[in-house]
Structure formats: C-alpha cells, structure tokens
Amino acid sequence: MHKELSDLINRNVSGANAVAYLTADAKKFDSSITVETSHIYKVVEFLKTNKTTSFNSLHCISGVDYTDYMEVCYMLTNYDPSAVRNLTLKVRVTDRVNAAIDSVVGQFVSADFLEREVYDMFGIKFNNHPDMRRILCPDDWEGFPLRKDYVAQKDYNGMTVYPDNKMNMEDREFIVRQNMIKKAQAEKAQ
C-alpha cells in the first residue's frame, strides 16, 4: 500500500523523492512515507486533491528529535471506508538552528494549532503560517522543551523552578552516582 502510494507521489509531484518505509505488519500504523522537506506542501496538496487518495483530514502533526536531525510527522486520514484510511507522512529537518519548513495551513486549517505546538516544543518554524506564536508555553519562555538538548530554566518570573529545599537530593545524588558507575564500567569494558 505504501509502496504504491510512494510511486504515485513520485509520478505526480516532481522532485518529491518519496521513499516508503515498511514494517512487517502493514496493518499497523508504523509504516510511513518520507518525502523531500521542500516539497511537503505540494505532496499534501496532491494527496488531498487527487481522486485516488483524497485524504480529507489531517489529524496530527508531531515532531521528533533524533539529536542529529529532527523529523515532522503528518498523520493523514480518509474517512471513506473503501479507500486507504491512514497515512504517516514524514519530512526531515536537518538544520537545528534555523529549522524551518513550509506550512500546510493552506490545505488543512487544522494544521494551524498543530504546527504552533510543534514550533512551541521543537522550535521548527513554519513558513507562510498565519500566526506563528507559541501555543502552550508562555511567550517569554526560553528554549524548546522537547528538544533533547533542552536545559530547564532556573528561574521564571521570580519563581524558582527547582527549589533546593523541596527536591529529594538523595535521589538526585543516587542517579548521578549510578551514571558514574555505568560510565566507569563502560570504560573498563573498552
């Protein structure tokens, strides 16, 4: 199913470079199609307007941080029971500092808040988005919380985020000690 879909995308959207990633059980939602980052709008437009697929709902956009690159996943759905029901579409964002991809709000209005949430948590900007602001965190928040290299703020508006008298320091020291032991064991093994 994903194989045919990726061929269909490649035939109709030039330069999309769709690659199907298949898992053993095709009925599970783990299978996906990865497309070129710059062509995401055209691919989504094609999948929506085209008669054979006609995905009529975008129900989720999520970001993933793989430390050396980031990924944005689009979950498309078709409510017609006779058609292909679900599709996971993925694009890669390699530039972490100026991460930016095209917005799909022009095709699916539901992408508005979903893209804002991805921006809030991962710092990926969406070009041509009507209202690119943070959605969950306050406007003066520093950093993007779901990135792997995120460091929590010490103070926010005069409030201490981790007050020492309320933290269980024994637990924290235990974790630090365990990490040191693991490191030493790994070095020994080498």
Partner 1 sequence: MQDGVVLTTLDEFLNWGRKNSLWPMTFGLACCAIEMMATGAAKYDLERFGCGAFMATPRRADLMIVAGTVTLKMATRVKVLYEQMAEPKYVISMGSCANKGGPYWQYGYHVLKGVDEVVPVDVYVPGCPPRPEALIEGVMTLQKKIANERLLRNKWVKHA
Binding interface with partner 1 (CB under 8 A): 137-138, 145, 150, 152-153, 156-157, 159-163, 166-168, 171-172
User: Dmax of the chain from CA atoms?
Assistant: 63
Q: How far apart are CA 100 and CA 124, in angstroms?
A: 5
| Minimum CB distance to partner 1, residue 157 (Å) | 6
Q: How far apart are CA 55 and CA 107, in angstroms?
A: 11
DSSP conformation class of 110: T
Q: For partner 1, give the closer residue by CB, 68 or 170.
A: 170
Q: For partner 1, give the closer residue by CB, 161 or 189.
A: 161
Q: Taking Cα atoms as reference points, which of 153, 89, 95 lies closest to residue 125?
A: 95
| Minimum CB distance to partner 1, residue 188 (Å) | 30
Q: For partner 1, give the closer residue by CB, 97 or 161.
A: 161
| Minimum CB distance to partner 1, residue 146 (Å) | 10
| Minimum CB distance to partner 1, residue 161 (Å) | 7
Element (H, E) at 3: helix 2-12
